[in-house]
Every structure is written in structure tokens, then in C-alpha cells.
Structure 1
Amino acid sequence: MSYCPSTCPDYIPENATHYCSICGNGIYNGEEFIRNDGDYAHWECIDGKNDLVEWIGCEIKVMEE
């Protein structure tokens, strides 16, 4: 574990045990994330409702009579 703050050039990030399926970066302690059937994503990687719906595998449809 590094004792330098994250702004220090000698900072070494901790090892991630889970990775974001959207950006591919590690999800570290203190970061918000969501999980969907074994996949993980940083909360900030979900830009809006449409991204969330797509990520969880749903479709947005228009009701027709």
C-alpha cells in the first residue's frame, strides 16, 4: 500500500479486484459502482438513464396500439 497521496508522482494505486466493464479501469476502495449480473461499472461511467438501461440489457420501446 502506498502512503503517498494520489497527487504524488510516487503514488502507487492499490490493486483492483474488480474492473469497470465500460471504461476498463479498476474500481478502487471508496469509488461508487453498480453491479449487473456479475459485471461492474463505475457510477460515473453511466452518463444517463439510456446508458443504464442499455447496460442492464433492457430495451426502450414506444407503446403502440
Structure 2
Amino acid sequence: MCSVCLQMPCHPRCPNAPEPVEVYNCSNCGEGILDGDEYVEIDGKYICMDCLDNMTTKELLETCGYEVETAEVDCGW
């Protein structure tokens, strides 16, 4: 039993608690995706939820491999 938090294993906020384990690194921000964190894998890239939440719709579509196009009238030339 820990002498600080009186738990076994230590509470995650206890100074004696082990460092969280990085499972992946976010391909967008480079931060660690820790055990228990939510993420999305897109084409072999791991993206944390913080990055996904901050992406514009266009950025998200491009990350998923879609090309955003602009409509133009065909003049027939």
C-alpha cells in the first residue's frame, strides 16, 4: 500500500504513481496517446481526439483521403 495515497496500486494523481504508458504517438501533434485515451486510426495514422476535435471539416476530409474540389461551370471549350 502506498504511504501517500493509501491505495494499491497508486491513484493516477499520486506522486508515486508510475508514468502513464504511451501506446501510440499522434500523427498530427506528435503527443503520446496514452493507455485509456481515445484515438482514431486512419490509413495507418493514429490521431488523438484533441486533434480531431480541433480539425475543420475540410482538414478532416483530407485526413481521411478525400479531395475537396471546387465546382466550375463547363464552358464547352
Task: State the TM-score, normalizing by the size of structure 1.
Answer: 0.67
2:27 to 5, 21, 27: 21
Q: Deviations over 1:7-55 (max 9, x none)?
A: 4455442221211001111111221211111110002112231221122
Q: Any gaps of 5 or more consecutive residues in structure 1? A: none
Give the structure-2-normalised TM-score: 0.60
Aligned length: 63
User: In the aligned structure 2, how far is the partner of 1:38 from the partner of 1:50?
Assistant: 20
1:34 lines up with 2:40 in the alignment: yes
Instruction: Determine the C-alpha separation between the residues in 1 that align with 2:46 and 2:40.
Output: 6
Amino acid at match of 2:61: V
- Higher RCO (CA < 8 A, seq sep 6+): 1
CA distance in 2, matches of 1:6, 1:60: 43
Structure 1 segments of 4 or more deviating over 4 A? 3-11
